[in-house]
Chain A
Amino acid sequence: MHPPYAVRAMDGRELRGRAAISGLGMSEMGRVYTRDARDFAAEAIRRAVEDAGLRKEQIDGLLVNPGVTPLGAMGGVGLQNDLGLANLRLLASMNVGGATANVMVQYAAMSVIHGLANHVVCVFADAPLRTSAGGGGGAAYAGMGRSVRPSGMAGLYTTFGVFGVNAHYALATRRHMAMYGTTSDQLGVIAVAERAWAQKSPLAEHREAMTLGDYRASRWVVEPLHLLDCCLVSNGGVAVVVSRAEEAADLAQPPAYILGMGQGHPGDFRRKGWDVETETGAPIARERAFSMAGATLADIDVLQLYDCYTYTVLVTLEDYGFCKKGEGGPFVADGKLGPGGSLPTNTGGGQLSGYYMWGMTPLSEGVIQVRGQGGERQVAKHDVVLVTGNGGILDHHSALILGREA
């Protein structure tokens, strides 16, 4: 009874491999204090366009994900003007937290496939670190809920001292530990594996050796989270260019074809029956992304999983079905995520040890791996890479399946 269009709309297969990431640009990242977010963004875009072998006149779409510091007027037009982008058919600012990078690429891919634009730049940039005062590193993130004069129901977070993202992920991690027996050491194995990858990456901020003992000895931030369960905070910007597949094939770099795309936003209604801490939007995103790609888990060679915390990696592995719900701890305990392991994950050191560029961290390393440009950390078989994003307190999930061939 459904009209033909409705049937096709349920599938998504027609989108498989028809768009690609044609360019990748990364500014200097980390403790770099000489630029603001807007200029990090401009620098990342300059490098991404150059990387693709495009001219700025050919860029006709710009999608912008601001971090916690401003990126100019409406997040987009300021950047457009800074870069003299005079041919835009597409311009928007987007924000679903760490899920945004993949989400921007999804809208960009659909736009180039369906003719709304030809080459769409997607950019994230932020400069939360300051040289002087303000608590340094995570000050911009730790401030959440820290109102001087709390009011309303939200004020209860202040009354009970529930400040920052760390506190919320601690609650989620605790719940998984209590329900399934997940241990701190199992989370520590994830941190150690990512550090081992970071040691092979010239882009990574933390390349000093780390053992499980170092993890255990790292100070508590919010129990059950150690310092080494938590991501870095970095200044910098990353941009990608999304183009139609056939055009990308003629550009400067090996295309990272977009085989599958999906999102999942489960909602947190803060009441009985909602297991938001232990069941993310990943299964919803997974279903669509894998059916679009015509792929199974066995096809995935490399994983780039959003890792604001070690726990985010663990729960994402479960929600994709790499192991059963609740078995993430034992699953990772043998070190299979690290170099030489059977499931190479976050091969640039992720956000725990590499660099914290929200969803651009897994996406950029995903592109590098698909292209085969990972140098010492390159995974031998890199035909298909899963890239995930996560935003808010496990509120948003986004997935991309990237392929070396369309």
Chain B
Amino acid sequence: METLATLWETFFDLESMREALPEMLTVGLPNTLLLALLSAILGTLLGMLLAMAGLARTRWLRWPARLYTDVFRGLPAAVTILLIGVGLAPLGLAWWGPNPYPLGILALSLIAAAYIGEIFRSGIQSVEASQLEATRALGLSHGAAMRLVIIPQGVRRVLPAWVNQLIALIKDSSLVYFLGLVASQRELFRIGQDYAANTGNESALLLAGLFYLVITVPLTHLVNWVDRRLRDGRAGGPEPDSDDPVALAGEAAPSTGGSGRETRHA
């Protein structure tokens, strides 16, 4: 009984949580969101460039993209963040002073870009060649066809995987604490950890964990929702069609349900 009570105190000491709450809300949460959001934007842009390079016809773009992806996916996030955040710190100091955020965001973005690039590349590659052919047959250039037809479809197909990557990014943003944060720069994890150290129990850290869940769990469900919606929009059952004038002249109700995507190559 004694041990159970201690355990309870360790994780669910409401007093410790209440103490940590204001700072988590006003400092930790905005900082975590800032880190994650900026890294998400930069990582997505870089990822798109990487995907394009990975799909390029010339190997002088494909190989560097491959190498980049292998390196940044292969390294532990903590190693990358330390190498960039500490290794480039002298440069950072010269450019924007002692704030570790820019380099932290850069490191997070570089890591995310490696994953997001692969996600986008596989999505774009999954678009049937016949889509490109049809677009070119209309007279659009290769670039316009990619931009307007191929990439939008490819990216749509991998949006769920992309959101998963954003979730990973939110969690990884806790690693910038390695770079040394002054009080106002602390994000959720660091604040939880500091309060946990002061109070001697883990309740504040648990509270930080709850904050992460409040951000990530809705995102997970958003993924599923987006996925379902895209499926409906693409291949959902055809609607009844009584108002089709030509249907009367030879076409019965739609029965293929085909979206025209399954390409048995002609």
Real complex partners, A and B? no
Interface residues of B (CB under 8 A from A): none
Interface residues of A (CB under 8 A from B): none
